[in-house]
Amino acid sequence: MHYAINACLAPLYSLEGMHIITVEGIGDRQRGLHPVQERLAEAHGSQCGFCTPGFVMSMYALLRSSKHPPTEEQIEDSLAGNLCRCTGYRPIIDAFRVFAKTDDSLYTASPSENANGQAICPSTGKPCSCRNETDVNANESSTLSSVKVYLPCSYNEIDGNSYSEKELIFPPELQLRKFMPLKLNGFNGIRWYRPLKLEQLLYLRSCYPDAKLIIGNSEVGVETKFKNAQYKVMISVTHVPELHTLKVEEHGLHIGSAVRLAQLQKFLKNVIAERGSHETSSCHAILRQLKWFAGTQIRNVASVGGNICTASPISDLNPLWMATGANFQIIDVNNNVRTTAAKDFFLGYRKVDLKADEVLLSVILPWTRPYEYVKEFKQAHRREDDIALVNAGMRMHITEAEGNWIVSDVSIVYGGVAAVPLTAAKTEKFLVGKKLDDGLLDETFNLLKEDIPLAENAPGGMVEFRSSLTLSFFFKFFLYVTHEMNIKGLSKVGLDAANMSAIQSYTRPVSIGAQGYESVGQGTAVGQPMVHMSAILQVTGEAEYVDDTPTPPNNLHAALVLSKKAHARILSIDDSVAKCSPGFAGLFLSKDVPGSNHIGPIIHDEEVFASDIVTCVGQIIGIVVADTHDNAKVAANKVNIEYSELPAILSISEAVKAGSFHPNTTRCLSNGDVDQCFASNTCDKIIEGEIRVGGQEHFYMEPQCTFVWPVDSGNEIHMISSTQAPQKHQKYVANALGLPLSKVVCKTKRIGGGFGGKETRSAIFAAAASVASYCLRRPVKIVLDRDVDMITTGQRHSFLGKYKLGFTNDGKIQALDLEIYNNGGNSLDLSLAVLERAVFHSENVYAIPNIRVSGKVCFTNFPSNTAFRGFGGPQGMLIAENWIHHMATELKQSPEEIKELNFQSEGTELYYGQLLQNCTMHSVWDELKASCNILEARKAVNVFNSENRWRKRGIAMVPTKFGISFTAKFMNQAGALVQVYTDGTVLVTHGGVEMGQGLHTKIAQVAASSLDIPLNCVFISETSTDKVPNASPTAASASSDLYGAAVLDACQQIKARMEPIASRGNHKSFAEVSSSMLHGTGRSFCSWVLYHP
């Protein structure tokens, strides 16, 4: 079997004896691409590429482990544990949909042979050596039937012909090798044991009662990585056969504690298919709950017993084990076996009825009886791969007594509401013996409130919502049981049809979509749907990012010492314990900065290292360097800091109340006379309101990282960084080290996503690392862990909007008075520019004769918020959509009608003085209305909502107007260097950064079209401050236009200079003209251009 797993959670020792396949192993540029890789590249499924290997391997594992063609649903399920921040998943799913084949023989037939006598893998249609046992034992001279290589007609350009290597097989040496018990020593004195028998496990348990038992490492891995937990002895129980039992017995199922959740899923499906439905109600409930339990990669390694013994209050399965009446078998070191009911196993927060000398052996799940119903419930922020807010397991047995159907047995268990799963004991006692009718509900709800109390300060918050979930879960369960009994004709309880939507199981359909676009005929490279120039490198795992950069032997790794207080004075910093940590090389603080400790993209209101006062949690106080990444983190955690806490401002409302604003950040734009309009009779109605817009984490796949090294003993500093603005890294580092910009070089080849989060906030980490590198004269690499990245870097700005709107009864807006505030955090960064863009977008597309918009940037004790896609525009437009919907509600009209009445049009002068030109909004709006038939769609929505009380639909059309380019006009400039070589190839360097948007590909298309050469003759290697100086950040939706124009200009200059040479000689090609410089022309062809529109 092939299983996709998370490498970050798989201890190296746990993989002993396994065949590990990575993306590099299934195909590369030299050997050729695997069909999975090829398809993803050709279908534009890779943008920044940082997540691409994970998608490739998840799909590869599904294909290699499938005996039958996977369905589209199975393909999407296999990808559920993968995250992508660039694509929206659609091109990835479209790419892999081709593998949902209909030719079963590809998967089920014996391997055929190709013309070279190689066996064809039935799972991929590619050469392999993975014949099954029947094939191996068969007569070698027998003729194997031919298997057609399936080529879906819609994707027939993807035939995998370039793939010439055999499919990877399980190494014969591993097949012949017998597993052995392991005793291994690891990092920081860790000991790792792997027993092969229960007897060996029990012996180890007796020797090390505090040892951690490991199967999937999904819990311990998180504890050690993020909670700094340390366990000296770990015992892997993955190879103990007694813990892997899966048996169907007379009274139920016997499930070993080490059984993987993915195995349990498969087992339950088989049991359900073979047994009567009345026996498997519990199996159905557990199987349905497992679908929403983490992702495929976690279920492939996580175990039944691991989830039980972790005893998480929000475990999705433990309430079900309790509700179904499951029993746990426990064995001690003396081989004594005892059985305890699941409902008695959980004693407290992460405490269970398991002594230090005991091991959970198995779970006994009883069959359900006729008319016994089991149902699972889970409510999370999102359906897939998310932990529960509240979950539950419920079971009810209905029996007949004196002609009535009564509740004879019931179990109701909730998770996520206390330190342990809670049983609704009073409710259960009340229900037993009661007739099944709707009169039960009111009293049951009252008792549930007593059984499942949630304090106002309960961990997890959202107390009112979570309390309501406990009631709604039982309501759904009551409807479910009653409905099932009604179907059987055994109950006459009347159920309102409008309530039945509450019990409809959610089945997400496979993703579908349609694209409409103009097909451009064949011509120059520009306009053609070219594959991303790095796509092949990304799908094969050969694309290099900062952390892939080879480091020299004397390289050091960095970890940050961060503030743990929102606002406090630093009293002392003690590094005595950190200095004794393994591999420690140094701690650097504000006093060690050789240049200026003050930095910032516009004003220098930040410090590289906090010197006296910290103003947010996550502010950098120092940087530790050590010989390894892990050693650096360990040492950084040992730096002890004493604080004197100061009052903190933690919200926009608190900032407004306290008058806490960044200096000189008040902005106000107006047109007309707002006050006079409100005071006159112009407005029939005036409404007021406010809206809060939350922040958002950038969550680029590649975290912040920089590799910096000194040149000539610190006379120069070079670095490779993951940034959208290499020149900002250059400036921050030069400023911190006291060097001129000419001695600092920053290079960026590609980054794994940015979205604005790497425009300014990335530079401070480069500055911090450069201080250590400069002082020690050694290379330093800093790669932030995800939690550190999220703590330190800020987000999209949250906003508060307060509006007063006046309008007429016929729906025409007359006046708007709007105040907006954004949460700048603890430094200004780009918050003023974000506020200004929000001001520019606060009327969205609506004509308002009298308007006043004022804004302020709030100072709060949060990490400085920064650029994010849209840069304040989305927040401004969302505020506008809120007040216009408020207006539509007041007038009892559809929002679309009100919007149309107030649209701006061609020639409209916006309230900040700009004229609208080439305005296509009306035609686009009308076309969209017609194509989606919104009137009929809205009628259908209204009908559905009237018929379904608990499930609703909605439809909306939202117009937007967005201004591209930088509002600071001087930043709308671009530089490019184009160099022509004698073989006719061209190297282009420009100031923009490739972060998945395809900028390099588009620029290469411009160069190829301008010079009339094939696209493969143009190459773009990297962005570097020593090639194109003083570049603006890659941002503001303008880079393709700016750098494309710069490259076009440079190419046109080169072409003009080449023309005299071409006309004097008999040159037939671009390459011949290029090589002419070797024959007496004495010219090289290159051009550097600064483009300013």
List of residues 6+ apart from 490 with CB closer than 8 A: 371, 398, 400, 405
Task: State the virtual CA torsion across 221, 223, 225, 231 in degrees, nearest 10.
Answer: -80
> To 10 degrees, the CA torsion angle through 297, 303, 307, 309?
-150
Which residues are annotated as part of the binding site for substrate?
759, 837, 871, 967
Residue 837's identity, in one-letter code, is R
| Type of residue found at 348 | G
- Could you give phi then psi for residue 514, rounded to 5 degrees? -135, 145
**Identity of the amino acid at 813:** I
Structure-token pair, residue 1073: 């003209």
Residue ranges of the annotated binding site for [2Fe-2S] cluster are: 8, 48, 51, 84, 86
- The pair of three-digit structure tokens given for residue 1008, joined into one six-digit string: 């190829």
Helix (H, G, I), strand (E, B) or coil at 426: helix
Residues 6+ apart with CB under 8 A from 650: 566, 860, 861, 862
- How many CB atoms within 10 Å of residue 890? 15
User: Strands, DSSP E only, in 893-1025?
Assistant: 974-980, 986-990, 1018-1019, 1023-1024
Cβ-based neighbours of 298, under 8 Å, separated by 6 or more: 6, 9, 81, 216, 218, 261
Q: Report the C-alpha gap between 668 and 671 in whole angstroms.
A: 10
Strand ranges inside 222-262, DSSP E: 233-236, 246-249, 252-256
Q: Token pair of 1018, please?
A: 């143009």
Backbone angles phi, psi at 561, to 5 degrees: -100, 115
The residues near 361 (Cβ < 8 Å, ≥ 6 apart) are 242, 243, 256, 257, 329, 330, 331, 337
SS (H, E, C) 611-679: CCEECCCCCEEEEEEECCHHHHHHHHHCCEEEEEECCCCCCHHHHHHHCCECCCCCEEEEECCHHHHHH
C-alpha to C-alpha distance for 674 and 814, rounded to whole angstroms: 9
Q: Which two tokens stand for residue 524?
A: 């120059």
Structure tokens at 1092: 């300013």
Tell me which DSSP letter residue 502 carries: G
Q: Which residues are documented as binding site?
A: 8, 48, 51, 84, 86, 213-220, 293, 303-307, 316, 360, 378, 724, 755, 759, 837, 869, 871, 967, 1036
Instruction: Measure the CA angle with vertex 380, ends 377 and 381; round to 5°.
Output: 155
Place of tokens 């997400």: 508
The Cα–Cα gap between 1061 and 1076 comes to 8
CA distance 33 to 24: 10
DSSP structural state of residue 941: H
Q: Residue 110 and residue 144: Cα distance in Å, rounded?
A: 7
Size (the chain), residues: 1093
The whole-angstrom separation of Cα 788 and Cα 629 is: 13
Per the annotation, binding residues for FAD are: 213-220, 293, 303-307, 316, 360, 378
Give the burial string for 943-962 (b: 16+ CB within 10 Å, else e).
eeeeebeeeeeeeeeebebe
Pick out the residues of the known binding site for Mo-molybdopterin: 724, 755, 869, 1036
